[in-house]
Structure 1
Amino acid sequence: MEAPLEQARDAYADLRWHDAYVQFRAAREAGELGVDDLAALADAAWWLGRNDESLTLSERVYRCRLQHDDAARAAQLAVEVGFLWLIRGEPTIGSGWISRAARLLQDVPECGAHGYLRYLEAAQALDQGRFADALDAARHIRQLADRCDDRTLYAGGLVTEGIAVVKEGRVGEGLAVLDEAMLPVRAGEVAPKWAGNLYCQLMSLFIETADLRRARDWTAATERWCDWHSSPAMFAGVCRVHRAQLLRLAGAWGDAEQHATQACRDLADMNVGVVAEGHYVLGDLCRLRGDLAGARAAYDRADELGRDPQPGRALLRLAEGCCAPAGRELRTALAGTDQPLGRAPLLSAQVDVAAAAGDADLARRAAGELGDVASTYGTAGLVAAARQAAGTARLVAGEAERALPLLRDAMRRWRALDARFDAARARFLLARALHALGDVDAAARASAAAAAVFAELGAAGARCAFAAPPEAGAAGEGALPGGLSPREAEVLTCVAAGHANRRIAHALAISERTVERHLANIFRKLDVASRTEAACYAFEHGLAHPRGS
């Protein structure tokens, strides 16, 4: 039988992190670990999510490298440790380690460690929108990687270059660079920790650019990569947040909530940025379901962790009926960024807020800028959002005939992307345009189809910019549709929110038996046979919060 140290080394080479960790720990207790084995133990601990232990061991490895006059390897480790502290949400400690690496490398002939330090500088340039600086750094990294024959560093430089080119608006050219960059990653020629980082960067890029097909493809590829490793805590958590974002678009909100919640729990001590994004996703899900208090708490948590809570928080204000504050928050957010991709979701929300306020000029300007962004990047999600925004702006301006083809096209594009909720919103707006053009029957069909999706999703907060088309022959001003009483309308609104009788009773301070009696009256008056049909009626007739976004 192999000794624990040999077993540990074999497991580490096979990427069996748990086995490697257990065996290295056993060998350490026997006093057998050298510095390279100690570094491997630190690495295995990190893969298992034992972040504190990993960082403590890495500091010991760093000191050992210095004692052995191995400044280059000590500096490279300092870069990696600094990066881990940064993403953990400790910028002071992280910057200290990176400064330590830079100081050590001043007296070291140019080597791979210089490239990894430059890689962090390039990443910072990307985050700040300094794409030309990122490109310069990426090209220097690739040249250095060639001289050092470091395939991991070369792949990192190439991915950085591709992302910078895409964000500059040269999408086709950038995608070609990224496809080339990921070949050695797919082939297993890149160090595992860096391979995971590169996979994560691509997932984030395609979510940001609303390239939903590529986002799904790369998220699935990353999940397969994670399955190949044992217990990759960090990267599995990042995958879960991106999967949650995609599931939210597809309308699988329960699954999205589960993925986001687990990621926030698993990465709480490892990656503050991903956890912040997870809370933002949870805020969106709460808002769309009508849980406004839950949405506010989630957005606030995302904000505390450093994630800009917009446009979610502004849309929450709109859902609360506070149109003017929502508009102010979006204007402030837009003033804070000049990056087209960062402005796109803000502009989409601004169109909805402008529609709720009846501000045709603002809706037109926001939709126009969003259209420019979509033209530059050309991704399916951005184009669909731009077409919907343009159609909404036409509706606000009273130009239903010009809005109609735009909204039909938006609905078709969202459906092709399997974005069920967004497709339903586009169809709800289409119903408004049809009604304005006098096609009441077609408007009713479109509204009913959208309402059925909203009811299925439990989308109590799925507010569109306009109320649903009024029922033909509806009662006069102030009357409720279907002959409902005010209390029956309140109960129906709760049903459309997906609430059970007990929750409705608690919310309205009535007994469950009273709720049952109101439901029987509602079913009789509306001539419906189920809660789903009743919810559809609520959405069709403006009883499920039809204004806002």
Structure 2
Amino acid sequence: MLVEIPSARWVLVVSDGPGPGAAMHTDVLTQGRESYARWAWKAAYEELSAAQGETPLPGADLYRLAVAAYLTGADAAAVETFQRAHHALVDQGEVARAVRCGFWLGIVLVQRGHHAQAGGWLARAQRLLAEEPLDCVERGYLLLPGALRSLEGGDPSAAYAVFGEAIEIADRFGDPDLVALSRLGRGQALVAMGEAGAGVAMLDEAMLAVTTGDVSPIAAGLVYCALILACRQIFDLRRAQEWTAALSRWCAAQPDLKPYRGQCLVHRSEIMQLRGEWPEAMEEVRRACAHLNEPPGDPVLGMALYQQGELLRLRGEFARAEQAYREASECGHPIQPGLALLRLAQGRVGDAAAAVRRVLDEAESDRVARSRALAAYAEIMLAAGDVEAARAGTDELEVLAADFDAPYLWAVAATARGAVLLADGHPRGSCVALRRAWTSWHQLEAPYEAARVRVLMARACRELEDHDTAEMELDAVRHVFEQLGAAPALARVAELSGMPARREAPAGLTPREVEVLKLVVTGATNREIADRLVISEKTVARHLDNMFPKLGVSSRAAATAFAYQHKLV
């Protein structure tokens, strides 16, 4: 909230020297500059806003105000102030600084999805440099948008060359922001070209510039977030975890910071999920959604909603998971293979198979997207009884794992291979592959994935008539799934353990209420339940009204949890 200062305080007293209003203006402007220097963004925004009451701020201070506005989430004010800063710097004859201001204005507009406006401001910056024969570092900055367009357009080689030109300019002028951004871009280009090792080395150089240099906050935030995303793309979980921890510390040092914090929370949630800290992961992603919703329109919200959907799916809250996926899709975020795996968990194998096949076809030239889809593809094809398709998918997954040489992807490939061998009637070979997969997941400290492998091992041991080992494996994973709250996986273990079904339904449910509850678990709507059971929607609603008090619950999600807890599914 802006600090409002009555205009009377700014009226100058006629005298031989500056009056008290001028002194107050100087004081608040100095305070704003000092707050900016120590990264106290809210204070800097309020103080610099107050300082522009009746005396126009020079271009440099307008630039500071624009940055403070952006970093506190006041995007509209940031865009308007960047524009004023640009014009003020041009009027002051500081063309190079005006160009840099135009560059950052373009970047901010792109982040908010205003690509046409961004293109206009970047073109204006280019025109200014074309009119002034200046040898300045800003020429390197203006190389970056074109290189990014080449990278996003599927031409990483062209992007690599242009980012190289920017690196030469950055090094010649010793500009920290351009040093970090140009190396980040070249690292991303190398990864896209399939040279993950060289790309990671360049990404590490970019991050080194951030952690040891005088990189501005907007540039630092961009590098942190882009680097973590790049590490996720190449399945380098160790680096992703390391830099997520660094980003968390960086955000914590700036309590007023609005951008980057939401994405940091999403990455933290993903890491917590992998480590088996599901309640903490759910809380982090809940915080991320709340943070990214205010103000609305942040594109990272789709990433947060997808992560929320993944956690809800694994916990068996299918209706809520589907809603999260739908909302993520509305934000423009890809929702596969998560939605396909949800359909598989709901027993809709045909829908799952159709979706995952389409995703693979669309990702023909995208190795990262294809790698993520292939693991789901193998699992879904096995559920559909198409062992040949699952085998082909696993073969390709192993090739990609060798290309990326990432422990995570090797673990995924070994799990898929073990499942295919088991389905193909080779339990001994399956045990070998699954033992390798379990070791990999254990080293990655991923308890859920490791436990899923042990379920497959239990099945293989049963086929080899080693029933003692099979039961021990199931006993071990039952405890893991209970701790995690992985209701669908726990139900599968109960099924494999041969636990007898209850003769009487719990909580006094009637047989028809049990049927309705089992369909609620799949995420079916009242209309879909009515169609399946050939009854009216009103009858479905009456059954639900009768059931909820019996179960002691007030929502479909809670009823779903009850059904899993009492082995009704």
C-alpha displacement of 1:508:
8.6
Shift of 1:176: 2.4
CA distance in structure 2 between the partners assigned to 1:123 and 1:270 by the alignment: 26
Change (3 A) 1:26 1:162: same
Matches within 5 A, 1:421-432: 421-432=448-459
Within 5 Å, which residues of 2 pair with 1:312-327?
A: 312-327=338-353
Choose from 286, 294, 303 the match for 2:329.
303
Partner of 1:310, secondary structure, is: coil
* Conservation of the 8 A alpha-carbon contact between 1:432 and 1:468: no
Q: Does 1:485 align with 2:496?
A: no
TM-score (norm 1): 0.84
Seen in structure 2, the aligned counterparts of structure 1 residues 106 and 485 have a Cα distance that, compared at 3 Å, is farther
- How far apart, CA to CA, are the structure 2 residues paired with 1:535 and 1:291? 10
1:120 — aligned with what?
145
Question: What is residue 409 of structure 2 aligned with on the other side?
Answer: 382
Q: 1:13 aligns with which of 37, 41, 66?
A: 37
> What's the CA shift for 1:467?
7.5
Alignment of 1:417-456 (within 5 A): 417-456=444-483
Q: Structure 2 vs 1, CA of residues 38 and 270 (structure 1 numbering), >3 Å: closer, same or farther? A: farther
What is the CA–CA distance in structure 1 between the aligned matches of 2:548 and 2:354, rounded to whole Å? 41
Q: How does 1:140-539 map to 2 (within 5 A)?
A: 140-268=165-293, 269=295, 272-337=298-363, 338-462=365-489, 470-471=496-497, 481-485=499-503, 487-488=505-506, 509-510=546-547, 538=567
Which shows bigger deviation, 124-133 or 75-84? Answer: 124-133
On the 8 A contact 1:51/1:270 being kept in 2, the answer is no
Greater mean alpha carbon deviation, residues 388-397 or residues 120-129: 120-129
Deviates more, 1:144-153 or 1:219-228: 144-153
> Structure 2: where are the runs of 5+ without partners?
1-23, 522-541, 554-560
Q: Describe the SS at the equivalent of 1:321.
A: coil
2:121 equivalent to 1:94: no
Aligned length: 506
Answer with 261-270 or 438-447: which moved more: 261-270
Cα–Cα, structure 1 residues 405 and 411, in superposed 2: closer, same or farther, change >3 Å? same
Q: Deviations over 1:436-493 (max 9, x none)?
A: 21111211221222222222222224489x877744xx6xxxxxx42522734969x9
Matched AA of 1:358: G
The answer to whether the Cα contact below 8 Å between 2:353 and 2:384 also exists between their aligned partners in 1 is: no
Shift of 1:536: 8.7
RMSD: 2.9
Q: Which amino acid aligns with 2:235?
A: A
Q: Does 1:47 align with 2:71?
A: yes
Give the structure 2 partner of residue 60 of structure 1.
84
Tell me the CA shift for residue 377 of structure 1.
1.0
- Higher-Rg member (1/2): 2
Counterparts of 1:103 and 1:124 in 2: how far apart (Å)? 19
Name the amino acid aligned to 1:322.
R
Q: 1:515 deviation in Å?
A: 7.7
Deviation at 1:361, TM superposition (A): 0.6
Displacement of 1:46 in angstroms is 1.3
In the alignment, what sits opposite 2:536?
none
Amino acid at match of 1:184: A
In 1: Cα distance, 2:345 partner to 2:314 partner: 9
Supply the distance in 1 between the matched residues of 2:552 and 2:61 (Cα, whole angstroms).
Answer: 67
Residue 235 of structure 2 aligns to a residue in which SS? coil
- What SS class does the counterpart of residue 29 from structure 1 fall into? coil
Whose relative contact order is higher, 1 or 2, with alpha carbons under 8 Å and at least 6 apart?
Answer: 1
Letter in 2 for 1:252: E
Secondary structure of 2:505's counterpart equals helix
Shift of 1:248: 1.9
Query: Of residues 101, 106, 109 in structure 2, which corresponds to 1:85?
Result: 109
| CA distance 1:514–1:243, shift in 2 (3 Å) | closer
TM-score (ref. length: structure 2):
0.82
What is the SS of the residue equivalent to 1:272? coil
The 10-residue stretch of structure 1 (200-209 or 23-32) with the greater mean CA deviation from structure 2: 23-32
Q: How far is the alpha carbon of 1:511 from its aligned partner?
A: 6.6
Cα distance between partner residues in 1 of 2:28 and 2:338: 52
Q: Per the alignment, do residues 469 and 286 of structure 1 end up closer, same or farther by CA in structure 2, a change over 3 Å counting?
A: closer
User: 2: distance between equivalents of 1:442 and 1:506?
Assistant: 43
- Are the structure 2 counterparts of residues 241 and 513 from structure 1 closer, same or farther at C-alpha, using a change threshold of 3 Å? closer
Q: Distance in 2 between matches of 1:105 and 1:298?
A: 47
Q: Given that residues 319 and 463 in structure 1 are in contact (C-alpha distance below 8 angstroms), is that contact kept between their aligned partners in structure 2?
A: no
Distance in structure 1 (CA, Å) of the matches to 2:288 and 2:552: 38
Q: Which moved more, 1:224-233 or 1:350-359?
A: 224-233
Within 2, Cα distance between the matches of 1:513 and 1:302? Answer: 34
Letter in 1 for 2:407: A
CA shift for structure 1 position 196: 1.6
Give the Cα–Cα distance (whole angstroms) in 2 for the partners of residues 89 and 202 of structure 1: 21
Corresponding position of 1:528: none
Structure 1: segments with no counterpart, 5+ residues: 475-480, 498-504, 517-530, 545-549
**Change beyond 3 A, Cα 1:289–1:449:** same
Corresponding residue of 1:478:
none
Whether the aligned pair in 1 keeps the contact of 2:487 and 2:565 (CA below 8 Å) is no
Distance, in Å, in 2 between the alignment partners of 1:470 and 1:23 is 66
Percent identity reads 34
Structure 2 CA distance for aligned equivalents of residues 107 and 213 of structure 1: 48
Tell me how far apart the structure 1 counterparts of residues 318 and 479 of structure 2 sit (CA, whole Å). Answer: 22
